[in-house]
Amino acid sequence: KIDRLAGWLEAGNAPPLRHLAYTMYRRAQVDRADASLTLTLVASSLVDLRQMLAMARSELLAGADLVLNPQGIYFAEEPLGLAGKVAFLYPGQGSQYPNMLADLVMQFPWLGEPFEHANRLAAGQLPRPLSEYVYPAPAHDAKMAKKQRAQLTDTRVAQSALGAAGLAVSRFLAEVGLQPDFVAGHSYGELVALCRAGVFDQDALQKISLARGRFMAEATGPDSGTMAAVIANQATVEEIVCELSDVTIANLNSPRQTVISGTTAAIERAVELFVQRGIQAKRIPVACAFHSPLVEPAQNRLAQLLETVEFNPPQTSVYSNTLGGPYPDDPAEIRAVLSQQLARPVRFTEEIKNLYAAGARIFVEAGPRSVLTGLVHQILGNLPHLAVSVDSGGRGLLDVQRALAQIIAIGTDIDLSVLFKGRDVREINLNAPYTDPARAAYGPTTWLVNGGRARRWLDVERGQPEPVVQPLDVSLAGARLAGPRATPNPAPPPKQPALAPAPGMPVGQLPAAPTRTATNMPGVAAPPVVHGNATVQVMVQTQQLMARFLQMQASVMSSYLDNAPEAPAPAPPDVPVAQPAAIPRHAEPLHAEPVVVLKRPPRPHINQPAAAPSPILRFTLTATDAPVIDATAGLAPGRAVLIAADAYGVAEQTAAMLREQGYDAVILHNRPARSANGNGVNGFNGNGRAAQPDNWHYAATLTDAADVESALAAVRREHQAIGSLLYLAALKPAQPFAELTLAGWQQSIEGDLVGFFNVLQGVQADLASAAAAGGSCLLAATQMGGDFAVGDGKASGFSPTQASIAGLLKTAAHEMPAVRAKVVDFGAVDDIVQAAAAVLAETGAADDLTEVGYRDGIRTMIAVRQAPVDSHQVAIPAIDDASVVLVTGGARGITASVVQELAERYRPTVILAGRSQAPPEQEAAETAGLTTAREIKAALLSGMSNQGKPAALAEVEAAYQRLLREREMRGNLRRLRRTGARVEYHSLDVRDEAAFAALINSVYERFGRLDGVIHGAGVIEDKLIKDKTIDSLRRVVSTKLDSAFVLSRMLRPESLKFLVFFSSVSGRFGNRGQGDYAAANEVLNKLAVLLDQDWPGHVVSINWGPWDAGMVSDELRRQFQERGVSLVPVDVGCQRLVEEINAGRPGEAEVLICGEDNQVMAQSHQRTAIKKQI
């Protein structure tokens, strides 16, 4: 059947997907009696469907007996649904979010009734209708969005909202014919389960929900308490909780997660104690200390209220959090158990195990998010079961369809007719070519319009190729726009939080039509005039007028198309040349500043000359919605996916999902340190293996290259080969930046960068081999807010050192072009199932995005926005002749050039710091006046010989280079002083905390001020990652970052006007051979973001393009010119720096100053090989 359908599609048949889905559903209804096994696919386009059919065929031929592919492919050889029972699970407080289930309610408006019912019952008890909290007006900024989330989190609102949401999902599941054998809920969700079982009605549910929330809000006193999640089992947590007062165990959620509850101070002490003992613990953002003695007053009031509610025997078995088993049948006993639930622990682990023992095999989370789904997976582990959620990733109807598809695949009957009701669908004949009956209705005046272009229908039918419009020049200089001026769009509709990147989302493109010569569009002839009465005459005149109107419109359209730019010649796949940036997928109004989306630009014809270098412009970064994944790729078979473990359990969840798909997934744990005798500590042994009862867990001290290699060797021995690396070790709570010392900063860099470097270098050859054998993925995760700290509501509390992982990975993407490379940034990791699903989706994504974030479940990417500054509007410059400016980086090269510019303009006091010794005032007589290299070297050789030194050529060369540096420094310092500026030069290593801090303090003591700092210190030791030594990496990184940290601690921000970090586009885009330099610059960028949030002055990290300075040889300059890459002229770079100091805007802490074409340099190598594979 797969082959027949795939062959029919490959033959060129392209029906609307809804017709095909309806046809397959109707055929399944007929064949159901004869079919014992079902394959279900959730596809969003015909291209998507063809890929899925091929993947399903491959899986089945390989003998797979269970396929639960998150891309939307599901099959079970032994269907659980034939004998297994169904349990509905209702989530509790914390799962709610604005616009939850919005797609479902909009598609099926009758599901909005529970919210409307709640509005009526809550009237007068809430400031506004409940539905306005759940579906608020569009948020215009991050602050407003945060406020909306907080309002919905209020316990007086959240419980009623979750009740309505649970009932809405229950009604939908009933409509598709899915009935539960059991129902249960987590905390508040148990009330919804009781309502679903008929114990009380909808009115009573909302009455109880509103009162429960109000009682809890009113009864907690000045300290409402809080809760914390601990990644440990019950026994471990109980042992430590016994040492504390005012702390109780609230939720026994899973074998790996226990939640504690208590007073705020007590929970803070508990979290500290757990962390000190090496156990992950984190506070949960809740309204109060649920399931603890603190809520007993609310429980007592609730018990009184329940006496006024009519209870009935349950029509479906309901399981209790308090009992861990089923509720009794007697209504009075049900009321008694429920009266104690609010302050008693939630025994969820026991509850799920007892449900399983009673025969439950299919668990459906009937509400928002997928928290309970993840807990069920943790509790049941490898036991046969299916756990799904209708809102597993915020992807709206796609989540619903995937949940239903899995349930069908395991043998449960579902009626899908509701999905087709009221839609334009029809059955089609799969045994004959497909024809669209609607095409006959289209005539010569029919145009296809998509909002951005128009085409004649006849041209499409005749195969006329679509005109290709040249990419829009992002400068928009001199543009003339015809027609009405675009105005700002109204606020967009509420975004559906989406784990959008999951493979299988819409492709959004049609196959190219075959090219044939088309005739010109014929004119539209006026109909003949028929004489008669006045009415007929008016009709004739109207027809003539309409004919002329249509002819005029056709002329306008034809004129537009005739004058459109010609399409560029077809492009071969391997010649990177600069092109204007493409219009972003989410275009802004035309009056807005142009945006450049960081995707691979189109490639021109091989004979087309390279584009002229673009002007040097200023850009800033912004986070924007990323497109859905429209192409996927697999991994080489028979090779292990190595996952570096994180602090939350995402690695374990990802590994479990991969194993469900048949991949060999192993986890590499970070062993904190080796004991003195070499024995393992903290659950790890000393031979590269984790102390686990299986061969899926390994351990190494990630900052120890030899230890890492030992663990990798063990993986290779037991799993044949390593095929992909998912580095999730950076997903962990960040230590507050304000609490760090320099030693802590260095340790953070070691943990983030050196750990990743060691593992990456260790598996680089493995990944290259796997890429050639079928596919490989290099993925690293960071936790900087879900948007790499570039969004409107910039993240606070993140660790800037995590950015080093992004910098190194982006360089690896250039050096390993055949390997799919991704860095995925997360915000708070509250839902490990959702985070693991995102990791899995990006692992298979074959798009051009190297950096992808997940912010509130929405897939984001980084875009570069042209953002010029207007220095002419600056009334008072940031520098004048009284200013004191500290500049690191020495008195040579670019640093000297920019200081010269400042000195000539403002004549400030300049304090220069560099590693080189200050040059003597006068050059030695034997070389003074000599100009050629031959003369100078001869004089130096003669001097060495006269002193009795051996005349080694290497020493002569070293002395010659030293003399040139001294000459340059001496000349630069003299020129600076001739401007009238006061100039000091201090020789020191800015990595030396004591020496650098002493210099800064002395500046404050001697001058009473320090107005600005330009941090230009840095070294370059370029090597490919595979050839890089750890000592070299540490030198490059520490020179730039240790000194930057000292600045952050020693400067006095209350009086500082500006702090400028000199960064590089290599950090933003990555650059072959500069992994360490890119990593250091990315950290510098994020440090600037963090400081700019708190300091009153302007803090900025400038990512410079390559300067046209002495470091660029003629050969390198020629290479840049051939690639169309702009070099920054020295005078232009100095001017841009002055503009940034005087007119840079707060909040723009990460700035690029380069040509638009620098993106080509960054991205020219990334995707050639993988595109060829696809």
- CATH assignment at residue 231: 3.30.70.250
Q: Residue 170's pLDDT is what?
A: 98
| Reported confidence tier of residue 684, pLDDT bands at 50, 70, 90 | very low
Which CATH number goes with the domain that contains 707? 3.40.50.720
Active-site amino acid positions: 187, 291
Q: How many domains in the chain? A: 6
pLDDT band at 416 (very low <50, low <70, confident <90, very high): very high
Residues 402-414 pLDDT 10s: 999 999 999 998 9
1040-1081 confidence digits (pLDDT tens): 999 999 999 999 999 999 999 999 998 999 989 999 999 999
Q: Do 282 and 299 have their domain in common?
A: no
- Residue 1100: domain span: 880-922+964-1163
Q: Look up the pTM and report it.
A: 0.54
Residue 323 has pLDDT above 50, yes or no: yes
Q: Is there a single domain that holds both residue 230 and residue 169?
A: no
Residues 1021, 1148 within the same domain: yes
Q: Which two tokens stand for residue 417?
A: 């007719």
Assess whether 277 and 388 both reside in one domain: no
561 assigned to some structural domain: yes
Q: Residues 108, 145: one domain?
A: yes
421 or 453, higher pLDDT = 421
Residue 585 lies in a domain: no
Q: Give pLDDT, residue 422.
A: 86
pLDDT recorded at residue 467: 38
The answer to the question of residue 149 being in a domain is yes
User: Is pLDDT at 496 greater than 50 in this prediction?
Assistant: no
**CB-CB contact of 488 with 589 (8 Å):** yes
* Model pLDDT, residue 894: 85
Structural domain contains residue 845: yes
Residue whose C-alpha is closest to residue 983's, from 884, 858, 1124 = 884
Q: Which residues contact 97 (CB under 8 A, 6 or more apart)?
A: 149, 152, 368, 369, 394, 497, 856
Residues 1143, 1007 share a domain: yes
Q: Which of 262-276, 521-535, 738-752 has the lowest mean pLDDT?
A: 521-535
Query: Would you state the pLDDT for residue 1037?
Result: 95
The least confident of 177-186, 360-369, 1152-1161 is 1152-1161
Residue 794's pLDDT is 58
Q: What are the pLDDT digits (tens) for 522-577? A: 333 333 333 344 433 444 444 454 444 444 444 444 443 444 434 333 333 333 33
Residues 53, 161: one domain?
no
The pLDDT value given to residue 368: 95
What per-residue confidence (pLDDT) applies to 454?
55
Query: Tens digits of per-residue pLDDT, 900-958?
Result: 999 999 999 999 998 888 888 888 888 888 888 888 888 888 888 777 766 677 888 88
Q: Report the alpha-carbon distance of residue 84 to residue 1113 in Å, rounded.
A: 73
Q: What is the pLDDT of residue 1110?
A: 54
Instruction: State CA 235 to chain mean position distance.
Output: 36
Strand, helix or coil for residue 553: helix
Let me know if residue 159 belongs to a domain. Answer: yes
- Our separate counts of H helices and E strands in the chain read 37, 31
Q: Determine which helix (DSSP H) or strand (DSSP E) holds 982, and give its type and residue range.
A: strand 982-987
Residue 437 lies inside a defined structural domain of this protein: no
CB atoms within 10 A of CB 537: 13
According to the model, what pLDDT value does residue 1173 have?
Answer: 26
Segment 797-802 shows an average pLDDT of: 91
CB 840 within 8 Å of CB 498: no
Higher pLDDT, 1159 or 988: 988
Residues 216-222: contacts with CB under 8 Å, at least 24 apart? 216/155, 216/287, 216/288, 216/290, 216/295, 216/298, 216/342, 217/154, 217/155, 217/156, 217/287, 217/288, 218/298, 219/295, 219/297, 219/298, 219/301, 220/288, 220/289, 220/294, 220/295, 220/297, 220/298
pLDDT of 680 > 50? The answer is no
Of the listed ranges 182-191, 597-606, 687-696, 783-792, the least confidently predicted one is 597-606
Q: What is the pLDDT of residue 734?
A: 87
- What is the predicted pLDDT for the residue at 447? 58
φ and ψ at residue 599, rounded to 5 degrees? -130, 160
Q: In sequence order, which residues have a C-beta less than 8 Å from that of residue 805 and are 6 or more positions away?
A: 727, 730, 752, 753, 756, 780, 782, 823, 1079
d(CA 223, CA 701) in angstroms, rounded, equals 42
Among residues 262, 286, 310, the one where a domain terminates is 286
Residue range 563-612, pLDDT digits in tens? 443 433 333 333 333 332 332 223 332 223 223 333 323 333 333 334 44
Q: Across residues 303-323, what is the average pLDDT?
A: 97
Task: Tell me the pLDDT tens digit for each residue of 7-37.
Answer: 999 999 999 999 999 999 998 887 765 566 8
Q: Do 917 and 1011 belong to one domain?
A: yes
Both 904 and 976 in a single domain? Answer: yes
Residue 958 lies in a domain: no
Q: Are 463 and 553 members of one domain?
A: yes
Answer yes or no: do 73 and 183 share one domain.
no
**Which segment of 305-309, 599-603, 1157-1161 scores lowest on mean pLDDT?**
599-603
In a domain, 531, yes or no: no
Higher confidence at residue 435 or residue 331?
331
CATH number, position 374 = 3.40.366.10
- Residue 729: pLDDT band (50, 70, 90) is very high
Quote the percentage of the chain above a pLDDT of 90.
52
At residue 964, what are phi and psi to the nearest 5 degrees?
-65, -40
Q: Does residue 783 sit in the same domain as residue 677?
A: yes
Q: What is the average pLDDT value for the chain, to the nearest integer?
A: 80
Q: Does 420 score more than 80 pLDDT?
A: yes
- Domain limit, last residue, from 234, 269, 286: 286
Question: pLDDT: is 650 or 687 the higher one?
Answer: 650
Beta-carbon count within 10 A of 41 CB: 23
